[in-house]
Amino acid sequence: MSLEAPLGGLTDLIEEWTSEPVLASETVFSGLIFDVRRDRVDLGEGGVVTRDYIEHPGAVAVLALRDVEQVPCVLLIRQYRHASGGYVWELPAGLLDVAEEPSRDAAARELAEEVDLVADEWHVLADDITSPGAFPETVRVFLARGLTAVPDAETHQRTAEELTIRPLWVPLDDAVEAALLGRISNSATLVGLLSAEAARTRGWSTLRPPDAPWPARELQASRRPSVG
**Nearest-angstrom CA–CA distance, 189 and 195:** 10
Question: In angstroms, what CA-CA distances link 180 with 53, 167, 201?
Answer: 30, 21, 17
More confident residue, 6 or 123: 123
Q: pTM score, two decimals?
A: 0.86
3-state secondary structure of 198: helix
Structural domains in the chain, sorted by start: 16-55 (no CATH), 59-211 (3.90.79.10)
Residue 162 annotated to the active site = yes
At residue 222, the pLDDT reads: 67
Residue 109 has pLDDT above 60, yes or no: yes
Strand partners, 131: 135
CB neighbour class for 141 (10 Å; exposed up to 12, middle 13-18, buried from 19)? buried
* Strand ranges in 98-204 using DSSP code E only, listed in sequence order: 117-131, 135-149, 166-171
Where b means 16+ CB within 10 Å and e means fewer, 195-215 reads: bbbebbeeeeeebbebeeebe
Find out whether 156 and 116 touch, Cβ atoms under 8 Å: yes
Evaluate if residue 33 carries a pLDDT over 90: no
pLDDT at 51 over 80: yes
**What does the pLDDT average to over 99-118?**
94
Among residues 162, 177, 197, 218, the one annotated as catalytic is 162
CA Rg value for the chain: 19
Is a pLDDT exceeding 80 seen at residue 202?
Answer: yes
How many residues in total does the chain contain?
228
pLDDT digits (tens, 9 = 90+) for 124-141: 999 999 888 777 788 999
